Amino acid sequence: MMPNGYSFIMNADIFAKHSDDFITLKSDHYAVSIDAERLTDIITEPYIKIAIVTNSGQVLSTLNYTNYNLELIHKALKNPNINKITKHLLAISRVPGLYYISAESMSYVFQQSRKNLILFLPFGIIMSLIASGAVIWGLRKRLSPIGELKLAIANKEMVVYYQPILDYKTGRCCGAEALVRWQRPDGSMIKPDFFIPLAEESGLIQPITDQIIESVITNLKEILIANRDLHIAINIAVVDFNSQRIFKKLESMLSGTNIEPQQIWLEITERGFMDFKATRDNLQQIRMQGYTIVMDDFGTGYSSLSYLKELPIDVLKIDKAFVSSVDTDSVTSHVTGHIIDIAKTLNIKIVAEGVETQAQSEYLKAHHVDYAQGWLYAKAMPLEEFIKFCEFNT
């Protein structure tokens, strides 16, 4: 009798019986007979043995058990929590009144797992190599500073800020220096000192300069045409200057715009002046195209005042260090005065950069410096702000 009230009758004597293995399930006046083999009539591996056994140890139906294996069932029933018995792995599940016992020989399990290992190991190794390669590639691409910079250039994350330049004669804005900023997708802004040196070393400065030129010409076209006294200064890196490629870019961007080439100031540092003769020829060629040549950061490198005499330079930018010496260091401020005098003698215009105090401004004006740029007047600002600044200050 089962806990749910049904009773089992084994080998019941029924009239449509084909074999002795019929089981009859009986409840009240009703009886259902089924072939016991049907209970385990499932398709499985020949090595997997299945048995259905009553609580009292009566075997109702088996699959793939031999008489010898039947012993397994009895041993399993004595200890239903066991999962290993006479070199077999066991799985025993229980419903009220019945046990389902499946068993598989351990040697077969190991043999199968060895087969699977041989079959899947090379595949697994290849897949894990591909996966780890992809991870390393992704990390390098994402984390190497050059990779980051390449991605930023491709995603056009470089933006141009404009720092106004004042004409001391009129006290008004006469132009700006284009200064690049790297705007990260999270909105943070990276200053050029952190990535320009790497860009110059890796050659990535060329696409950056290209993007700056494109932005500057596109954004300032209208105000440059409307006011011919206005100029925009673009920083040209050493490789840009030496490769000359940048001048073709400028030419193609300017063609048909009606912007005067003199309105484009090209800031070149003396670091690019490796071969004196080649530099001079190069500068002469650029000047013939009408651009204004600016020598940037003057005094910070191996600058020789004789350069000024022999190179075709229109404007000299006195470095911030010399400008701040006016307040702080009387020895260096003598040099500042000397640089200004020589530039005046050679008829080279002067921009003082990094002007921060009124005292510096007064000194520079008293020495007839032509232009000034610095936080005393304005910091580098986004395009829209610069256009407004220009409207009020020209």
Residues within the interface to ligand C2E (CB under 6 A):
163, 178-180, 191-193, 196, 205, 209, 212, 235, 237, 296-297, 320, 353-356, 373-375, 380
Residue 353 CB, shortest distance to Ca ion, in Å, is: 5
Residue 374 DSSP class: S
Q: Is 381 helix (H, G, I), strand (E, B) or coil?
A: strand
CA distance 288 to 339: 26
**Placement of tokens 């330079």 in the chain:** 313
- Report the first-to-last Cα separation within the chain, whole angstroms: 107
157's contact among Ca ion, ligand C2E, none, with CB below 5 to 8 A by partner kind, is: none
Q: Can you read off the two tokens belonging to residue 341? A: 């005098």
193's contact among ligand C2E, Ca ion, none, with CB below 5 to 8 A by partner kind, is: ligand C2E
Residue 242 CB, shortest distance to ligand C2E, in Å, is: 13
Residue 311 CB, shortest distance to ligand C2E, in Å, is: 18
Residue 168 CB, shortest distance to ligand C2E, in Å, is: 16
Find the Cα–Cα–Cα–Cα dihedral 172, 314, 366, 334, rounded to 10°: 140
380's contact among Ca ion, ligand C2E, none, with CB below 5 to 8 A by partner kind, is: ligand C2E
* CB of 235 or CB of 263, closer to Ca ion: 235
51's contact among ligand C2E, Ca ion, none, with CB below 5 to 8 A by partner kind, is: none
* Choices 47-55, 113-121, 295-303, 344-352; region in contact with Ca ion by CB under 5 A: 295-303
Q: Is 13 helix (H, G, I), strand (E, B) or coil?
A: coil
Binds Ca ion by CB under 5 A, chosen from 267, 291, 298, 308: 267
List of long-range contacts for 380-387, beta carbons under 8 Å, 24+ apart? 380/161, 380/162, 380/163, 380/177, 380/179, 380/181, 381/161, 381/162, 381/163, 381/164, 382/159, 382/161, 382/162, 383/160, 383/162, 383/219, 386/162, 386/164, 386/176, 387/223
Residue 180 CB, shortest distance to ligand C2E, in Å, is: 4
Residues of this chain that interact with Ca ion (CB under 5 A) are 235, 267, 296-297
